[in-house]
Amino acid sequence: MNLLEAKNLYKSFGNINAVSDISISLNVGEVIGFLGPNGAGKSTTMKILTGFLEADCGSIEIKKIDLSKDPINAKSIIGYLPEGAPSYSDMTVKSFLYFVGKMRGLKDELLEKRLEIMLKDINLTEVQNQIIETLSKGYKRRVGIAQALIHDPDILILDEPTDGLDPNQKFEMRKLIKSISKNKGIIISTHILEEVEAVCSRTIIISSGKVLLNKETKDILKNKKENLDSIFRKITK
Amino acid sequence: MKLYIEKLMIIFNREFTGYFRTPLASIFLLVFLALSAGMTFFMGQFFQRGQADLNSFFVWHPWLFLILMPAIGMRLWAEERKSGTIELLMTLPVTNSQLVLGKFLASWFFTLLAIIMTIPIWITVNYLGEPDNGVIFISYLGSWLMAGCFLSLTSCLSMLTKNQVIAFIVSTISCFIMVMAGFGLVLASVRSWAPLWLTEVIQSFSFLSHFKRIQYGVLDLTTFIFFISMIMICISINIFLVQLKKAD
């Protein structure tokens, strides 16, 4: 089942073409790894897909809902972790998740249930009453993931979810992404190639705002002569 | 409509309680109460005047709000932009108008709380004499409406920068201009070279001129419409700026 269909997206800032003719299709059970060097246009594309930025041209349909025509309903289907996992640092973990849940339209009873699940599944129970400002980077990132998942969205868009995490935390995060990917569509932007190999079913490499490669990860890994690392370096040079 | 108000109230609650999550609320309330009492009793010579009214209390409000309203409103958008939470906020299923209104109303009702906390002065003047309570009530209402103008202007300007200090300075200067537009000295200097209609236009935009009328118990439709229109204009510009500057 198709969850997201983005066609021919363009976005420029002044003379700079940040996104140039990018098309993405996301289906249930698919995890797309969005790879690219710094400034390739990964974050801009994600911002467009989540409705934060408007594309100069192109179209985005979220479960057949046109994002530009009905942004409220389209946005409610998406869970988004922005780059750097921003959150309200003066709130406690629980009150922040409660706020996002309420904004997502969850009713009290369901929200309480979802909060319980999030705190347990993302290992936030012991810090639930702690002010976010006092948390470590790893915990802050987990809070970011929890807010993106609080309404159990069909589509999850994660901008560098493992950035700044230690190896154990990275492992846990990948495990979590894999476990929830069966009935969702997930797009992850990352610099880490091994992450793509570990969790992504499809790999998209972009550079200078253009898609250079869009392939099933298993097909890339079949190639014994070249691994993802060498392909990445070769096409993004 | 119900859903619109529900979301607006969630934003309102987060912002309103946000003032109390940091020492900002207590510092603001303390400074506001200390300054308004100090100005009323010492600079306004409340007792020496021997009159049962609160003119010596309300006369300082435009000058107090000039500093204190930018202090409350500077964080409204500048902080969201600096911390990146604006991206989180604007990818939630919520409209720009809900966000702007929710934030503005939270700061406006926080100011109402501060104004309500000065009621002991009202009680004092009733204890000492027989004031016209209708005039005092209208003055309180006018003071709150004027605070709304200062706040909506500050909220609007705080969207233009990520730096709260810059937001504070620019807002204070802008509010100062809006107050000074009705000051006698400014009007006299404009009158010396400008045509009468221009002087009247400048005066008609002054917070001070409108507030003076209210202070004497005259809350006519023009004054009421002026304050409400100013708030609505600033909020509309704010909504436009949120769309324009969110990703800068």
Q: What distance in Å separates the CA atoms of residue B121 and residue B116, rounded to the nearest whole number?
A: 10
- Token pair 């807002």 in the structure block, residue: B171
Last residue of a domain, one of A111, A132, A153: A153
Partner-chain contact A90 B18, CB within 8 Å: yes
Q: Determine the average pLDDT of the residues in A7-19.
A: 92
- Answer yes or no: is B22 within a domain: no
Residue A69 and residue A127 in one domain: no
In a domain, B49, yes or no: no
3-state secondary structure chain A: CEEEEEEEEEEEECCEEEEEEEEEEEECCCEEEEECCCCCCHHHHHHHHCCCCCCCEEEEEECCEECCCCHHHHHCCEEEECCCCCCCCCCEHHHHHHHHHHHCCCCHHHHHHHHHHHHHHCCCHHHCCCEHHHCCHHHHHHHHHHHHHCCCCCEEEEECCCCCCCHHHHHHHHHHHHHHCCCCEEEEEECCHHHHHHHCCEEEEEECCEEEEEEEHHHHHHCCCCCHHHHHHHHHC
CB B57 within 8 A of CB B140: no
Same domain flag for A61 and A158: yes
Question: Structural domain tally of chain A?
Answer: 2
Chain A positions touching B247 (Cβ under 8 A) are 47, 52-53
> Taking Cα atoms as reference points, which of A211, A176, A181, A218 lies closest to residue A196?
A218
Q: Are residues A143 and A50 in the same domain?
A: no
Nearest CA in chain B to A53: B247
Q: Is B133 a member of any domain?
A: yes
Q: How many CB atoms lie within 10 A of CB B161?
A: 20
In the prediction, which pLDDT does A115 show? 96
Q: Examine the domain organization and report whether A73 and A101 are in the same domain.
A: no
Which of B5, B87, B89, B245 best tests the A interface by mutation, with the highest count of A CBs <10 A?
Answer: B87
Residue B79 pLDDT exceeds 80: yes
Cβ contacts of B95 on chain A, cutoff 8 Å: 72
Sheet architecture: strand order including A2-13:
A16-27, A2-13, A57-62, A65-66
Whether A117 and A138 map to the same domain: the answer is: yes
Per-residue pLDDT reduced to its tens digit, A35-46: 988 888 899 999
Please report the pLDDT score of residue A69 as a whole number.
94
More confident residue, A227 or A29: A29
Nearest to B157 by CA among B143, B145, B144, B175: B175
Where among A104, A121, A153 does a domain terminate? A153
Q: Is the pLDDT of residue A130 over 80?
A: yes
A65 touches chain B (CB under 8 A): no
CB contact under 8 A, B247 and A53: yes
Q: Which residues of B touch A (CB under 8 A)?
A: 3, 7, 10-11, 14, 18, 21-22, 83-85, 87-88, 90-95, 246-247
**pLDDT recorded at residue A43:** 92
**Residue owning tokens 């408007």:** A54
Q: Which range (A111-120, A164-173, B4-13) has the least confidence?
A: A164-173
| Rounded Cα distance, A174 and A186, in Å | 12
pLDDT confidence bin for A19, thresholds 50/70/90:
very high
User: CB of A125 within 8 A of CB of A119?
Assistant: yes
Over residues B113-132, the pLDDT tens digits come to 999 999 999 998 899 888 88
Considering only A136-140, B128-132, B197-201, which range has the smallest mean pLDDT?
B197-201
Query: Distance between CA B149 and CA B129 in Å, rounded?
Result: 33
Give A204's strand partners: A34, A214
Contact at CB, B87 and A52, closer than 8 angstroms: yes
Choose, out of A43, A72, A97, A156, the residue to mutate when testing the contact with B (most B CBs < 10 Å). Answer: A72
What strands, in cross-sheet order, belong to the sheet with A210-216? A78-81, A155-159, A185-190, A31-35, A202-207, A210-216
Q: Counting Cβ atoms within 10 Å, is residue A191 exposed (0-12), middle (13-18) or buried (19+)?
A: middle
| ipTM of this predicted structure | 0.91
- Whether A90 has its CB under 8 Å from any CB of chain B: the answer is yes
> Which of B11, B14, B91 is closest, CB to CB, to A52?
B91
Q: Do both A143 and A167 map to the same domain? A: no
Amino acid at B36: S
Residues A115 and A161 placed together within one structural domain of the fold: no
CA-to-CA distance for B11 and B98, rounded, in angstroms?
8
Q: Which domain holds residue A135?
A: 88-153
Contact status, residue A85 vs residue A143, Cβ threshold 8 Å = yes
To the nearest whole Å, the CA of A222 is away from the closest chain B CA by 38
B-chain CB neighbours of A103 within 8 Å are 7, 10-11, 92-94
Q: Is residue A83 part of a domain?
A: no
Residues A219 and A112 placed together within one structural domain of the fold: no
What is the C-alpha to C-alpha distance for residues B226 and B231, in angstroms, rounded to an integer? 9
Which domain range does residue B109 map to? 58-245
Residue contact B88–A87, C-beta within 8 A: yes
What whole-number distance in Å separates Cα of residue B140 and Cα of residue B215? 9
Q: List, in order, residues 6 or more apart from A177 with CB less than 8 Å away.
A: A31, A158, A161, A186, A188, A199
Query: Using the beta-carbon criterion (under 8 Å), do A103 and B84 form an inter-chain contact?
Result: no
Structural domain count of chain B: 1
Chain A with chain B: Cβ pairs closer than 8 A: 62
Domain assignment present for A148: yes
* CB atoms B93 and A76 under 8 Å: yes
So what's the pLDDT on residue B83?
A: 93
Position A82 in a domain? no
Task: Name every chain A residue with its beta carbon within 8 A of the beta carbon of B93.
Answer: 71-73, 75-76, 103-105
